[in-house]
Structure 1
């Protein structure tokens, strides 16, 4: 069973799957899906599309030079059937696929080496350029942290860093709608609960004015 690669993206085009385009001069083009066929008919260059094998090879994201890739070359050489030869060929195919997978993993590790350091460097540069947008501590907060550090014998810079992290990581509470007012009520068991009350005479989201009367009419 021959599995031809897709003419556009390079993926395997399995038998009885995909689309085959026959040109007037007799040349056939095998496509794995309609997406590749449509892009081919629109005369797009596969080397400029990031989801094709040609682009990844030109960008250095896949192996191009390797001895295991030579076995995938198409060879139209007729060979007389031999059962032992077929068994050896199948074993060799499995072994070659294992070797290729291992080499691809090594190639990927070498290609991605240092990516984390580059991401951290770019993140630090972004923070340094936009430092004026970050929240800052007030003078009273700095004095309070200095006094606390003197009492606990801790570095002031560490306390300021922790305070800034809490400020940046704190989530904003939801705002009340229109004429709602949120209050804290102390329960009899000592707990505290948050309640939302509606202020009389305010305009709600629907555009109607609320009065003290439940029917919405003046009581005068």
Structure 2
């Protein structure tokens, strides 16, 4: 079965065409191994080490910007999704009003109120029956 390599997700051609591959960057090709023996030179080693550090910095910076550019679209989607969830949560939030122990027993804690924008002072806490949540140690 013949397939177009740009449409098959596991091929290099697809990754490159979709902008998912970092091989577009020339710094990766720059670091190829050279199997040619070179006579030892102290200055050459120092400049090589400096160049390796610099290439590493450039590569890390380019990888970060590459990742940020790819994630920009998903960041917008996440923001829109979070806004939508907040709107849904605001419209359907119900809180239990704090009650005295006697009122709680008579109503069994079933009294609920709607949260409005102006009533931020309402508590979401439900009073306990005097028991602690901790573990008792003998």
Larger Rg: 1
For Structure 1 versus Structure 2, the TM-score category normalised by the shorter chain is: 0.3 to 0.5
- Identify, as 1 or 2, the structure richer in helix: 2
Structure with bigger RCO (C-alpha 8 Å, 6+ apart): 2
- Which structure has more strand as a fraction of its residues? 1
